[in-house]
Structure formats: structure tokens, C-alpha cells
Structure 1
């Protein structure tokens, strides 16, 4: 048995615990549990933006059968034991409230097989109470299914955003964990359709470039036990900054704004900070998103030095890019009056003309029904000029990945892989 109740002295020092306010909160807590269980694969499935159904399945170590009922009890965890552990947290979760909080606001099914057991345990929970528990055959690992979130809290249910908004929040969250754990296989399925399938990568830069579909420059610096790895897009685009501290996706307003000012507001930047656990406090925010770094000025100094070290000619190139560069878009052709074949940078994109048109109309109006009816259909005639306008509009979308119904808008191929498979150098 590994799960135990925390002593009162620890509980009193823990920041206000997990609060489940939306589907993305559920997904976050469950994915973190999977990663803490040393999973190499995490599969997430949602229906209706997670309002109707959420499933997180992993191939981790599993839950010991004697701990199954403990995991839904408040303040029960295997990740910390005493007050001193709060000063050196290395796991994603530690408060022992995630499954308890989810169980109180949903119909919950937990299936888990501990790696040393021959059979798994299935447990059905409602209103925080165990209704059913039985042995089942299953693979090693854990699957948590959340049905009808907030069914017993209709007021909170009414505060949820529309389905597309909740789904987009989950997509963004999963991107963060994909960037955090580049060696883990992540899949996300929405309403029965695959949003993405991210296989493990050899290094973090490969994961970043695959996820954003463009080339990134890598800069690294370290001093006094603190290291910074910063990856910046070479193309100007909608500026985004992703910040990770000891592999944990976090928010830190001062650092995020400092990075934006340093790299530019039209760049995608992924920043990884590694430092001793005692130099960061993740126990200052109920959802563990905001963190306090005790040597924040040292981190800023390391980032500033990264750009001081840049050769003058490269500064000139960046200035030129910032002033005039936009990704080149080449329409190669239209296949079966359905697929727009496009070359953008080093990638070939196959866009579904209906889904691309539907997303464009939805971005403009926010009306799902109208965008569905007014969109181009498969089989409609489309000129190359009109296709070019659609793709250029797509570059400005907040959600480039899926249509309003959750279907993937495009499929892409790295041109370098094509040359490699043909045994030809570019």
C-alpha cells in the first residue's frame, strides 16, 4: 500500500486545494496523475468539450488494489508524507485532492491494474461514494472516466462555456503537456475524432517543431545551478509564450512579460527553466499554475545573456524578419474538389476545404449552425486564388487544429521525410 492520509500539520500548510471548475481542470489533474505514475503513453478522450464525458487512460504503474478506495478520499496521497516534502516537490500532483474533488462533482469510474497484479480493479463512484467494486481483466495502468460533470451542481454547470471553448482549452492544455514531456506518446480524441497523435520524440526541439509546424532556434544558458533553454520560432506569427519550470507548465506574469519583451511579441517561444526544487514554490496557487521562483532575477539575467551572445548579423536578420517576414504559402493544387494541397515552409499541408471554410466562418461569427451551413462543401469548385485566401486566413486563427465540431482541419507531411524515404538529399 502506498496511499496514506496526510497529517494535520501538512494539511494546514498546503495552499487551498484542487478546485474543479471546468472540464479542463479534470483533464489537467488526471493527466498529471498519469505522468506521475511514470506513463509512457497517455490517451485522452472527450465528448461535448468534456461536459458529457472525459477519459484519461495510461500505461503507468497502476493503483495498488488496497489503495483504490483511498484515492477518492481527501488529503490522501502517495507523493508527499511530511512538511519537509513541500520544500522539494518533484511530482506534478501532491495534495491528494484531485480524484476526491472530481468524484464529488461527477459520476466516476476508475479502472486500474497495479503492475505486480494479474487482474485490475474497477470502481464506480457517485457523489464521492463507492457504489461498485469488482475485479476485471485489463492492461497494466489506469483509466479514469468522468461522466456528466456537475450533474449534481446545476448552477456551476450553467457557468461552463460553450462546447467549442471548453474543447479548445483542453487542446491547449494537452499541447502544454506534450511540450513538457516530449518522450511521452499523447493522443487526444474529441467526439470520436482524433485531434492529434503525438509520438515520442528524440529531443524536445523535434516535439516543438512538429507541434507548431515551423523551425525554431535553440538557445541555452546556465549559472549557479539554474539553467534556461529557450526555443524561438524563426517565423513571425501570432505570439505565444509557453513556460515550464522543472517540466511543469506554469504561469509567472513577470517572467512571461519579460520573455515577450525580449524575444518579440510576434514569436512563438518555449522556455524551460530547471533549478533545484527548493528554489521554486508550487504551493502558492490552488491549481498549481502560478509558481514563485526564489531567484527570479537570476533567471532573467540568464535570458538576457542569451540574446547578448547573439552575433550582430543574426540580430540584423531577426530585425528584418520582424519587419517584413510572413510565412510563404504556395498552393500546389486541389485534389478531388476536396483537399487543398499547400506548401508552407518545409511542410506539405492537406487541408479539407469544407472544414477550413467552416472554421473561417466560425471565427468571424461565433455561430456554429450558420458556419456549418454557409461553408464550402466537398465537391464545390474552388479557385487557387480563393484557396490561397482561405489558407492565409487560417494562419491568423486562434485554433488552427480543428473545425468547430472537433475534426482535424489538415494533415501535414515534412518534406525532408519524403526526400529521406526516396533516398535523396535536398
Structure 2
């Protein structure tokens, strides 16, 4: 594939990923609504259930397979019950939950007594701020408003947002009826009893949302980039060729958001731990170039188990930032200078410039190092250290790079 065609495809792919990852109301949710009929439910461990809220059999079957594979990874991560959860499958002819939030906020701004308390503001206000920033970014990049492809965005649903969604659903998503309902609705107070059993909820876009998103975004990208006929043809050909890969990658994004939702709702892991686990889980699901990996679910479980082991290592031997540094560099500093390698892209260069020691990590700017001892050095902000292993003859072949969320062995490159 030509460089030009690859660059344009990368641009389309990054745009779609960015909006799919937009999740302004991420977090645990207690679901509550009136059920018309019992929902299809996957029985997992003894106390764990995942129910599916979908209108079509095909969407329901897809959601069941999807949720079960994510559940296995979440359970492998913590070994704890995931409780009772709910997956809501969206439809193209129904508004996305964030659009309902926007509608409600517009009504609440002009209706006295609807907006109630700082918790409401922290949830709804932040959601709208994130949404507006993403909308502006998308306008700048491809001249589209984000609402036009909101259907591609998965979203964990907190109670207040769920109440808005369910109230709108009861009104058949009729805009006028929803507006009338919202004019008296206080979503922080509303409870729909039949669904209080659910500990977490996530809204998933329709299964084929990515195909529609590509179709909607592609013309705008080409127009924004002022592509000619030949270039347009190349990009369309590339998208057609790589659509299975793009679709597979977006599936990984969706799964990672459900995985995150389950962990936030059912585990005592911290925000940074969950973020790292989510990254490891999603990374194992991503295609490698044009290759869609096999046994992705098994690989994703192994990835989160490995990341969890790292996190436990951080906790057992936490990073301690140095408080004092030496004024001068040690006399043996020359033996430490050179190129080192770590795992994956962990390349690192240690060098001297103007009688000062610097460290240049792969794809990051160089930072100055200060001596703590003859073998231990730290960055100016004290957020990283590098400790070299100095042999009896004064040479150095390896060391350890540390930080609050980092522990990586490094080895001199031959």
C-alpha cells in the first residue's frame, strides 16, 4: 500500500477511534426501569448475570457473545463477582443517550428547579463539556458535528443518564413527548424499580455502526483534505480493503469500555490500575497491521493477568521519589552513557551535554538527570529514576527504569 493511501486511512481510523472512545459518563451505574418482559439473561458464575436489552434477535445474540467474552476477562482480572449487569443495544432510529442529555440540559437551563445539586452538575455538566470539546475538535478536523456519528459511541451509563434514557424510551423517543416529560423530570431522584437489580450498565451502538460511520465520515475527510479523483479512489480502495481490520479494531474498543465498566462497578481497583488494565486488554484485541489476531479472547485474558502482576509488583515495592540530589555528577559517569533497550519500544539513550546528564526515551523529549548516588539518577520532577548496575570493573550493561507506574529493566544495546 502506498504511503499516501496509508496516511489517509490512518487519519480516518484515528477519527473513528477517537469518537468511539469518547465516554463522558464512564463509571458504575445502578440501572432502574420498568420492564415489559423478562430480559434474556446469560447465567455465568453463581451470582453473576448479564441481561441484554435488544429489540432484534440478531442484535441480542451479538450482545450475548460480546458480553460473555468481556466478562471472562473481567473475572480473570479480579476473581471477584461481577454481579448483575445490563447491556443495552442501540438502534439507528433512536437517539443516542448523550443526545438525550443535551436535550435535557437545554430544557433544564430554562426551567426552574430541574437541576438539583452539585452531583447532578458534576455528572451532567462534565458530560456536556466533554461532548462540546469533542464536537469542536471534530468540526475543526473534518467539518462534521459529532452528533452526526454519535451512533458509533459506546457509553457506560450512570443512574441519572439512565433515568433520562428510560423516560425517553417510555415516550417512544417522540421528541415532543420527551420534551414534555423532561420538563418535570429530576433524573437524580427518579427510580424505576424493576431494574434496580443491575449494578452496571453499558449502552452499545448497533453491531454494524462502524460500517455506517465509515460511509458517513469518508466523504468529509476527502473534502476536508481536498482530494482529487485519483486520491479519492485510492482511499476508497484502501478503506474497502481494510474494512474488516477497522471493524475488528472498533470491536476491541467497545469491549474495552465494557471491561472498564465492570471493573469500576465491581472491584476496588484504583482509577490508574483500571486504566492500565483496560489498555492491556484493548491492546491484545487490536489487529496487527492487516492481520486480525486469532484467539483474541484468550490473549486478552493473558494480557490482563500479566498487567495485574505488574500492578501487584508496584504495590509490593512502591516507587519512592528521591528527596535529595548531589550537586555534581560522579566521576564514573562516562561508563553509564550509551544506548539501552527495554521491552517493546523501551529504547533509551543516556548522554552528556554541556557537562550535564540527560535521558532520551523513545518518542519523548530528552530530560535532565540528577545524581542521587554513583549509580542512581532521577529526573528533575522526581517522577522517574534510573538505577544502573555497575560491575566490579566499572562497566555497566543494565539498569532499571522506575516511576510511580513503571518498572522496566533496561539493557545496553550492542
User: Is TM-score (shorter-chain normalized) higher than 0.5?
Assistant: no
**TM-score, normalised to structure 2's length?**
0.23
**TM-score, normalised to structure 1's length?**
0.23
Query: Relative to total residues, which structure has the larger strand share, 1 or 2?
Result: 1
Q: Which has the higher contact order (CA 8 A, sep 6+)?
A: 2
